[in-house]
Amino acid sequence: MSKTKLTINNNGSVKIEGDFEIVDRNGNTYGLQGREVLSICRCGLSKNKPFCDGAHNGHFEHEAIAFDLPPKKV
């Protein structure tokens, strides 16, 4: 099985690619209808949350630059 890839887009959503499932807090699975690529809302403006509908355009700013987290606490 290949890795699932999440891409944090500039000024927008989180794109998910690969073999994945999305569940709600109760463990119920969203029906993704065979999609292997989709985007999750980060701005909170989507009318289709948790999925992105493009409502962030011109209303959300974040430059996605990767960085290292501090060491994990033990």
pLDDT in tens, 2-58: 789 999 999 999 999 999 999 999 999 999 999 999 999 999 999 999 999 999 999
Q: Give this prediction's pTM.
A: 0.86
pLDDT in tens, 51-60: 999 999 999 9
Cis peptide before 50 (omega within 30 of 0): yes
Q: What is the DSSP string of 22-73?
A: -B-TTSPBP--TT-SEEEE-SSS--TTTTB--STTTTT--------PPPPPP
Distance CA 25, CA 67 (A): 28
Distance CA 63, CA 30 (A): 29
